[in-house]
C-alpha cells in the first residue's frame, strides 16, 4: 500500500511555533478589547459609506464562519496594536493570542464505542482523537505551508511576484473542450455532489472591489485593461472580487477550516450539525421533509425556515449552484424516503428516530459503495486503486485504523479535487425518455436557478437526469468552459460573472499551498528543472508551452508553477483521468477517508457493523439502480458514469436488482 514519499507528512491539524513574545494576559485582553472596538467602528463606517455584501457567495458562509471572519479582522488589528505598544515583530504578535472562536472545545465520548449511529458533526468517530474529521476543524497539511512570511502572507505575497491568476486562466485554461468518449456528465456532477459532502471552506462576504478596506481579508484579483472578455463588457471590469478564506490563526500560523465533516456520511443531504439535521426531518416515520407543490421533491428554504440562495434546501447550502447538482440531491432525498417508508412497513412499531437513523445508516453504506466500487476506479484507474489499497473486499470485511486521521488535507480540497472543473459542460442538453432532445441550457445562465428542474411539473428533473446519463462529459484536460471562467455565479442584471479558475489559483496561494514542484516530489516524481527548456515527461507539450509563456514571461521558473495549473497540465495515468500528482493526492485522501472512518460500511468494528448478508445487499447495488427507483427513466447504463456500450449496456429500469431491506430489520 502506497502513501507519500520523499517528504515528511504533516498529520497534525496545526503547524505551531513557539513565540518569543512575553505579554501578560491582562495586556493581551486590553489589546483585544481595543482591536474589537476599532473593528466595530470600521464596520459602521463602511456601512455609512455604502458597503454591501456579495449575495452570490453567501453559500460559503456559516454562522460559525461569520464569527471566525469577524475574529480574523479583529486579529489583524490586534497584531498591529501589540506590535506598536510592545515593540514586537509581526510574527511574535501573531503568537500571543488565540481568539475564543478558534479554541477547540473538549468532548466526552463516553459510550461512543458502542454507539450504533455516527454523530452528525463527526465527533467521536475516532475514540482516541474525537475531533478528527469533524466540522469546523482546520484542514490538515501534507507539506509545510508556503506563506511568504512564514505564517500569513499568501505564497507570492500580496503584491505578487507570481503571474496574475486571471492571465493564467486565459492563457493556460482557455475554453477548448473536446468530449471524453467514454465518460458521462454524471461523473463530474457526482464529483461535485461528493465534494459538498466532505469540504466547505468558508470565506468572508465582502464586496472588496468596491470597498477594499471593508475586510482585512480582501485580496481582489486585478483584471488587465486588455482582457479579451472583461474589458469588453458594457461596463469594463478591472477587478474581480476575492476574499481570503476564513481562518483561525492558532499559534500564529494561518489555517483554514472545513465547515463540513470529512467523513463520507452524506452530510450534504443530512447536514453537518444536529440543528440542520433536525430542520430537514419531518419527525414522522423517519422521513425527510419534501416539497408540497412538487410531490417527493426537495423542500424550499422558506418551507423549513432557512435562508438560502435559490429555491431548494438540503444539508449543504450550495445545493442550488447548478441544476444538475439539485437533481443529485433529489435522487438521494427520494431514496431516503423510499427506504424509510419500507422500513416503517416492515417494522410498524419502530419509532421515528429509529426509522430515520436506520435509513441514514443504509443510505451512507450505499453512498460509500458507489464511490469506491464505481466512481473512484474510473477517476483513479485500476493501478492506483490497487497501489493505495482502495479496492473494497468482494466478501468479508476490511479493517479500521484508529491511527489514521480522515481530516481533509488542504491541497486535496484546494487543488487536487478541483480537477472536475475541467469537466464541467457549458451546455446541458435536455433529453427525453425516448432519447430525443427537448432543448438545452447554458450553465452561465442558470446558477441558483431551479426553472429547468421544475418545468412541466417536475419533468425537467428527468430530462436533466437523462442528460447526465447519456451526454459525454468534456475531456479531463487543462481547458475549462467559459461558463465558469467568464460567467461564474453571474447575476441576472450583469453581463459577466467571476472566473472559477483564477479563483482556484488565487485560493491556493491564499492557503499557502507550496508549488506544484513540491507535490510532484511528495508523490514520487522528480523535481522540475529551473529551465523551461526541460519539460518533464508527465506534462503535455502544449500545456508546458502555455505555462512557460505565462510564468516565464513573468520571470518565474518552472519550480514556481501553482499546484492547480501543474496538476491540470499533466498527462493522465493509465486508466485514470488525471496525471500522477493529482492522482496521488486524491488516492491518499480517499485512502484515509476509508481507513480512518470507524463506521465505514465494510469495516468489522463491533456490534454496529453490517452483517455479511447486509453487506451482500449493499455490494450488489449500483448508482443506476437508485436512479431507476427514483425517476421516470425507462433504462440506464449499468455504470452511470460510463457511456452506454457493449461493455456497459443500458438495462431496463424494470429489470433492476432490488434492495432487500428485510435483511436490515
- Give, as one character, the DSSP assignment of residue 133: T
State whether residue 109 is helix, strand or coil: coil
Annotated active-site residue 196? The verdict is yes
Provide the CA 560 distance to its chain's centre, in angstroms: 25
Those residues with Cβ within 8 angstroms of residue 252's Cβ, 6 or more apart along the chain or in another chain: 16, 17, 19, 91, 94, 95, 151
Beta bridge partners of 247: 256
Per the CB < 8 A criterion, the answer to whether 19 and 96 are in contact is yes
Strand partners, 438: none
Asked if residues 359 and 286 have their Cβ atoms less than 8 Å apart, the reply is yes
Calculate the alpha carbon distances from 330 to 290, 374, 458, 560 in Å. Answer: 10, 20, 11, 43
Of 227, 209, 210, 218, give the one whose Cα is nearest residue 166: 227
Contact between 288 and 281 (Cβ < 8 Å): yes
Distance between CA atoms of 642 and 379, rounded to whole angstroms? Answer: 11
Instruction: Find the catalytic residue in 49, 173, 196, 446.
Output: 196
Name residues whose C-beta falls within 8 Å of residue 452's C-beta, 6 or more positions apart in sequence: 323, 428, 430, 441, 446, 460, 464
Which grid coordinates belong to 161?
511576484
Can you list the positions of beta strands (E) in 465-561? 472-474
Give the per-residue SS3 of 14-74.
Answer: CCCCCCCCCCCHHHHHHHHHHHHHHHHHHHHHHHHCCCCCCHHHHHHCCHHHHHHHHHHHH
Strand partners, 398: 603
In angstroms, the CA 53 to CA 217 distance is 14
CB distance 512 to 254 below 8 Å: yes
Cα–Cα dist 163/172, whole Å: 12
Burial of 545 (0-12, 13-18, 19+ CB in 10 A): middle
In the chain, helix, strand, coil percent, each to 5?
A: 40, 10, 50
How crowded is residue 526: how many other Cβ atoms within 10 Å of its Cβ?
Answer: 11
How many other CB atoms are there within 10 angstroms of residue 540's CB atom?
18
Active-site residues, by number, are: 196
Amino acid at each position: 500500500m502506497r502513501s507519500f514519499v520523499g517528504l515528511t507528512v504533516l498529520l497534525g491539524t496545526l503547524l505551531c511555533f513557539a513565540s518569543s513574545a512575553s505579554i501578560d494576559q491582562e495586556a493581551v485582553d486590553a489589546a483585544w478589547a481595543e482591536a474589537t472596538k476599532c473593528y466595530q467602528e470600521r464596520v459602521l463606517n463602511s456601512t455609512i459609506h455604502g458597503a454591501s455584501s456579495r449575495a452570490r457567495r453567501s453559500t460559503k458562509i456559516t454562522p460559525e464562519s461569520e464569527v471566525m471572519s469577524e475574529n480574523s479582522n479583529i486579529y489583524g488589528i490586534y497584531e498591529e496594536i501589540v506590535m506598536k505598544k510592545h515593540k514586537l515583530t509581526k510574527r511574535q504578535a501573531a503568537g500571543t493570542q488565540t481568539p475564543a472562536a478558534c479554541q477547540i472545545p473538549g468532548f466526552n465520548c463516553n459510550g461512543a464505542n458502542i454507539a450504533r449511529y455516527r454523530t452528525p458533526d463527526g465527533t467521536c468517530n475516532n475514540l482516541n482523537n474525537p475531533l478528527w474529521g469533524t466540522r469546523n476543524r482546520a484542514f490538515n497539511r501534507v507539506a509545510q505551508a508556503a506563506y511568504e512570511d512564514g505564517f500569513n502572507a499568501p505564497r507570492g505575497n500580496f503584491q505578487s511576484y507570481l503571474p496574475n491568476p486571471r492571465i493564467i486562466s486565459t492563457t493556460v485554461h482557455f475554453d477548448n473542450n473536446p468530449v471524453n468518449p467514454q465518460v458521462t456528465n454524471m461523473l463530474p456532477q457526482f464529483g461535485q455532489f461528493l465534494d459538498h459532502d466532505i469540504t466547505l471552506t468558508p470565506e468572508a462576504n465582502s464586496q472588496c472591489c468596491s470597498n477594499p478596506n471593508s475586510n482585512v481579508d480582501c485580496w481582489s484579483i486585478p483584471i488587465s485593461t486588455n482582457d479579451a472578455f472583461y474589458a469588453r463588457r458594457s461596463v469594463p471590469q478591472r477587478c474581480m472580487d476575492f476574499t481570503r478564506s476564513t481562518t483561525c490563526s492558532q499559534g500564529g500560523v494561518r489555517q483554514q477550516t472545513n465547515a463540513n465533516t470529512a467523513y463520507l456520511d452524506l452530510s450534504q443531504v443530512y447536514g453537518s450539525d444536529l440543528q440542520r439535521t433536525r430542520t430537514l426531518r419531518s419527525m414522522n416515520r423517519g422521513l425527510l421533509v419534501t416539497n408540497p407543490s412538487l410531490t417527493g421533491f426537495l423542500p424550499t428554504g422558506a418551507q423549513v425556515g432557512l435562508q438560502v440562495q435559490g429555491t431548494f434546501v438540503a444539508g449543504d447550502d450550495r445545493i442550488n449552484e447548478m441544476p444538475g447538482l439539485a437533481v443529485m440531491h433529489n435522487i438521494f432525498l427520494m431514496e431516503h424516503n423510499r427506504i424509510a417508508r419500507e422500513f416503517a412497513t416492515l417494522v410498524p412499531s419502530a419509532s421515528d428516530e429509529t426509522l430515520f437513523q436506520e435509513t441514514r445508516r443504509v443510505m451512507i453504506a450505499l453512498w460509500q459503495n458507489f464511490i469506491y466500487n464505481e466512481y473512484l476506479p474510473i477517476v483513479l484507474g485500476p493501478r492506483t486503486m490497487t497501489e493505495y489499497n482502495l479496492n473494497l473486499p468482494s466478501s468479508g470485511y476490511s479493517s479500521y485504523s484508529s491511527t489514521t486521521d480522515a481530516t481533509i488535507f488542504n491541497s486535496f480540497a484546494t487543488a487536487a479535487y478541483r480537477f472536475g472543473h475541467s469537466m464541467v459542460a457549458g451546455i446541458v442538453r435536455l433529453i427525453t425518455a425516448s432519447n430525443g432532445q427537448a432543448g438545452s441550457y447554458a450553465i452561465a445562465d442558470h446558477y441558483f436557478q431551479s426553472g429547468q428542474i421544475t418545468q412541466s411539473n417536475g419533468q425537467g428533473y428527468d430530462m436533466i437526469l437523462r442528460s447526465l446519463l447519456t451526454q459525454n462529459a468534456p475531456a479531463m484536460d487543462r481547458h475549462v468552459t467559459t461558463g465558469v471562467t467568464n460567467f461564474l455565479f453571474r447575476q441576472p442584471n450583469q453581463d459577466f460573472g467571476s472566473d472559477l479558475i483564477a479563483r482556484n489559483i488565487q485560493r491556493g496561494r491564499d492557503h499557502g499551498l507550496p508549488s506544484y514542484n513540491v507535490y510532484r516530489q511528495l508523490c514520487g516524481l522528480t523535481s522540475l528543472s529551473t529551465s523551461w527548456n526541460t519539460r518533464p515527461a508527465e506534462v503535455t507539450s502544449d500545456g508546458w508551452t502555455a505555462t512557460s509563456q505565462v510564468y516565464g514571461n513573468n520571470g518565474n521558473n518552472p519550480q514556481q508553477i501553482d499546484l492547480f495549473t501543474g496538476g491540470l497540465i499533466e498527462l493522465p495515468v493509465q486508466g485514470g483521468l488525471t496525471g500522477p500528482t493529482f492522482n496521488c493526492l486524491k488516492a491518499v485522501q480517499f485512502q484515509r477517508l476509508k481507513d480512518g472512518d470507524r463506521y465505514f460500511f465494510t469495516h468489522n468494528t463491533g456490534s454496529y457493523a453490517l452483517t455479511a448478508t447486509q453487506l451482500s445487499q449493499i455490494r450488489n447495488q449500483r448508482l443506476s439502480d437508485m436512479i431507476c427507483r427514483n425517476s421516470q427513466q425507462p433504462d440506464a447504463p449499468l455504470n452511470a458514469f460510463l457511456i452506454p456500450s457493449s461493455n456497459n449496456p443500458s438495462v431496463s429500469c424494470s429489470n433492476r436488482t432490488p434492495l432487500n431491506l428485510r435483511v436490515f430489520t
